[in-house]
């Protein structure tokens, strides 16, 4: 049995197509990178304590002062100097901490970013109401 050139070319094309689709599916888009995180970061509106939890944990109070007025934080990336600025989600008109340019790229901060920002990691028991 012989395989024609046309059949061989078709098989090669199909193989390359499947390979390229597989490679393309493994790469995360910028949008997916922006919304995925391994932790949640917070700042207390009362005592200004910075803390983070596992991404599955939603705190009900500040672990330090026990106040329930805590704000989730987001990470903002400056287009000018690529600096990441972490601020409470409700802060309007966030500016880069390094160059003071307005920032418009919003990301969910990773645990390593939150720790570098000064947050301390807290367990579910530490942030739950009694």
Task: Report pLDDT digits (tens) over 60-86.
Answer: 999 999 999 999 999 999 999 989 999
CA distance 94 to 102: 6
pLDDT tens digit string along 76-126?
999 999 899 999 998 888 999 899 999 988 889 999 999 999 999 999 999
**Predicted TM-score of the model (pTM):** 0.72
Chain-centroid distance, C-alpha 63: 23
**99-111 core/surface letters (b: 16 or more CB in 10 A; e: else):** eeeebeeebbbbb
């Amino acid at each position: 049995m012989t395989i024609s050139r046309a059949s061989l070319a078709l098989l090669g094309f199909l193989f390359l197509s499947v390979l390229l689709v597989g490679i393309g599916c493994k790469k995360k888009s910028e949008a997916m990178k922006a919304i995925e995180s391994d932790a949640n970061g917070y700042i207390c509106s009362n005592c200004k304590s910075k803390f983070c939890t596992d991404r599955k944990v939603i705190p009900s109070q500040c672990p330090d002062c026990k106040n329930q007025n805590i704000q989730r934080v987001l990470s903002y990336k400056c287009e000018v100097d690529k600096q990441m600025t972490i601020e409470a989600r409700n802060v309007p008109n966030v500016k880069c901490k390094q160059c003071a340019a307005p920032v418009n790229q919003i990301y969910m901060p990773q645990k390593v970013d939150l720790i570098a920002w000064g947050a301390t990691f807290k367990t579910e028991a530490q942030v739950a109401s009694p």
